[in-house]
Amino acid sequence: MSTVDYSQELSVVEGRPSLRELDDLISKPLESKPDKKFFIAISFTGLMLLTGITALGASFIYGTGLWGNNNPVGWGFPIVNFVFWVGIGHAGTLISAILFLFRQKWRTGIARFAEGMTIFAVITAAMFPLIHTGRPWLPLYLAPYPNQHSIWPNFISPLLWDVFAVSTYFIVSLIFWYVGLIPDLAVLRDKAGTKVKKTIYSIFSLGWRFSNRHWQHYEMMYLILAGFATPLVLSVHTIVSYDFAVSIMPGWHATIFPPYFVAGAVFSGFAMVQNVLIFIRKIFNYEHIITLKVLENMNKIILLTGSLVGYAYAMEFFIAWYSGVQAEQFTFINRAFGPYAWAYWIMISCNVISPQLFWFKKIRTSIPIMFVLGVLVNVGMWFERFVITVTSLSRDYLPSSWAYYTPTITDFGILIGSFGLFFTLLLIFTKTLPVISIAEVKAVVDGAQPTHKDH
């Protein structure tokens, strides 16, 4: 084994590419016509999106009776999918804000892409509560505006907090993403070949001129935004968990929910980012920017959050026993051994057992294996939300109202459509904006920073 000199910080970008090479490499997808592979990919995701649109259209015409939602399981797929997608959206801000505050330089290569995924995931997620209300054209009623009913929203309802949390999260993520893009758009402006492109990039780069008097404020602004986004990202899934925890359903009414949901969100978000990055680095030749080391670091975070989630599962059982509440105890035994045991054990094996394989360095650094494990994590996390939502509702306090929830084909159509929407947006993103932050990567290349040797 070779010895590593830990006194020197290892470079996060391999091979010392010149700054000009980085520009050209990162902006290449924007300057070349999309190839055949891109069209195959986008027609596939487009087809998925079309499936979702068809299912949604049918739901609008014939009503939400097409879904499996019914008494007592009134939440069903729409809420499961909502929580799942909001969770996916948590990796982006975590990478761009929390890892920034911790000075993790390896985040520079993946931050932009993860932020983009956050925005698309939140868009996808926001669709579900809207359609679940059954009247998606009246979202304005959620906002506190002076209206003809002369009433105000209920500010002590977690569902309203959710509206504020998710919309704040979306706006702040969008701002974060956009200010990060400004210097890169200015690079593209100066590289642009055609007049149309130049005009568009000029408008959106706002006239950025790489001035150090600006960079100084820009870095301060980035720090402030990261400082605000860090508690924000933790608050969003906390509030999503309040939707459950503030109610009195057995299996939901638990104080462990906020940290447990946040850990789960980071867990699934990182798995999704890792999965997509594996393709991005290969297709666009970014292997030296998004290095194997970056993927390995992400796998370590997946291992950490996966273990937290596993701990939370165990703790839920313990608290159910320790509380001495019969309904609570029944709910958890019902989860593991009742009619939804199949979903529970899928969740346990995907979320608790499979990420434990990342303890081995060989597995952590093997791309095919980590890809499969990432997919499993997301399957597991989807089932976690399914288990939480459906098992508690289907067997509540009143045995006479118990019923087995069965999703319909329309439900699955909308679920497929949500993946279609997310991946279509991602594909368009890779072709319209730089998926790696040019300015940030340039700043961490070897030799990019002054040595200050004369001081």
Partner 1 sequence: MSEKVLYALTGLFETPDQIIDAAEKTSDGGYKKYDVNTPYPLHGMNQAMKLPPSKLGYAALVFGLSGTVSALALMYWMAVIDYAHVIGGKPYFPLPAFVPVMFEVTVLSAAIATVFTMLFVVFKFPNNSHPLHDTEYMKSVSRDKYGICILAEDEKFDENGTLKFLEELGATNITHQYFTEDSYATWWSVLDKKFAGILAVTAIATSLVVYIGLNKVLYMQPFSWMMEQEKLNPQKGSVLFADGFSMRNPVQGTIARGDLPYEYAVDPEGASKLVNPLPITEANLQLGKVKYDIYCSPCHGFMGEGDSRLRGQFPNPPSLHSEKVRDWTDGRIYHVIAMGQNVMPSYSSQLSRNEKWATILYVRALQRSLNAKESDLQ
> What is the footprint of partner 1 within residues 228-247 (CB under 8 A)?
228-229, 231-232, 235, 239, 242
Contact between 23 and partner 1 (CB under 8 A)? yes
Contact between 210 and partner 1 (CB under 8 A)? yes
Contact between 165 and partner 1 (CB under 8 A)? yes
In the chain, the amino acid numbered 368 is P
Contact between 403 and partner 1 (CB under 8 A)? no
428-447: which residues touch partner 1 (CB under 8 A)?
Answer: 439-440, 442-443, 447
Residue from the set 38, 44, 164, 330 that interacts with partner 1 by CB under 8 A: 164
Contact between 451 and partner 1 (CB under 8 A)? yes
- Size of residue set near partner 1 by CB under 8 A: 74
Q: What binding mask, one character per residue, do residues 60-89 give for partner 1 by CB under 8 A, x or -?
A: xx----------------------------
365-384: which residues touch partner 1 (CB under 8 A)?
Answer: none
Q: Which is nearer to partner 1, 32 or 247 (CB)?
A: 247
In the numeric block, which tokens belong to residue 187? 């690079």
Q: Which is nearer to partner 1, 384 or 440 (CB)?
A: 440
Least gap, CB of 19 to partner 1 (angstroms): 4
b vs e for 414-444, b when ≥16 Cβ sit within 10 Å of the residue's Cβ? bbbbbbbbbbbbbbebbeebbbbbbbbbbeb
Least gap, CB of 44 to partner 1 (angstroms): 31
The piece of 39-47, 48-56, 120-128, 206-214 that touches partner 1 (CB under 8 A) is: 206-214
Least gap, CB of 447 to partner 1 (angstroms): 8
In the numeric block, which tokens belong to residue 348? 């346990």
Q: How far is CA 405 from CA 332, 393, 396, 421, in A?
A: 17, 9, 13, 26
Contact between 454 and partner 1 (CB under 8 A)? yes
Least gap, CB of 436 to partner 1 (angstroms): 13
Choose among 354, 358, 356: nearest CA to 346.
354
Report how far residue 99's alpha carbon sits from residue 12's, in angstroms, rounded to the nearest whole number.
Answer: 14
- Of how many residues is the chain composed? 455
Is the separation of the CB atoms in 87 and 264 below 8 Å? yes
116-155: which residues touch partner 1 (CB under 8 A)?
Answer: 135, 137-138, 140, 144, 150-152, 154-155
Contact between 16 and partner 1 (CB under 8 A)? no
Q: How far is CA 275 from the centre of its chain?
A: 12
In the numeric block, which tokens belong to residue 194? 């055609």
Least gap, CB of 241 to partner 1 (angstroms): 12
Residue from the set 196, 213, 324, 399 that interacts with partner 1 by CB under 8 A: 213
Task: Find the farthest-apart pair of alpha carbons in the chain and give their distance in angstroms, rounded.
Answer: 81
Q: Which is nearer to partner 1, 62 or 397 (CB)?
A: 62
The piece of 7-15, 185-193, 318-326, 395-403 that touches partner 1 (CB under 8 A) is: 185-193
Q: Which is nearer to partner 1, 165 or 263 (CB)?
A: 165
313-342: which residues touch partner 1 (CB under 8 A)?
Answer: none
Report how far residue 308's alpha carbon sits from residue 302's, in angstroms, rounded to the nearest whole number.
Answer: 10
DSSP 9: P
In the numeric block, which tokens belong to residue 177? 């993403």
Least gap, CB of 448 to partner 1 (angstroms): 7
Least gap, CB of 232 to partner 1 (angstroms): 5
In the numeric block, which tokens belong to residue 43? 């027609």
In the numeric block, which tokens belong to residue 418? 């949500």
Least gap, CB of 178 to partner 1 (angstroms): 8
Contact between 216 and partner 1 (CB under 8 A)? yes
Residue from the set 186, 302, 376, 421 that interacts with partner 1 by CB under 8 A: 186
Residue 365 neighbours by CB under 8 Å, 6+ apart: 292, 295, 296
Q: What ranges in 65-194 are assigned the alpha helix state H?
A: 76-88, 90-93, 99-101, 108-132, 158-191
Residue from the set 114, 127, 172, 272 that interacts with partner 1 by CB under 8 A: 172
Q: Which is nearer to partner 1, 208 or 267 (CB)?
A: 208
b vs e for 46-65, b when ≥16 Cβ sit within 10 Å of the residue's Cβ? bebbbbbeebbeebeeeebe
Contact between 253 and partner 1 (CB under 8 A)? no
Is the separation of the CB atoms in 332 and 316 below 8 Å? yes
Residue from the set 11, 14, 54, 191 that interacts with partner 1 by CB under 8 A: 191
In the numeric block, which tokens belong to residue 34? 């999309």
Exposed / middle / buried, residue 76 (Cβ in 10 Å: 0-12, 13-18, 19+)? buried
Coil, strand, or helix at residue 364?
helix
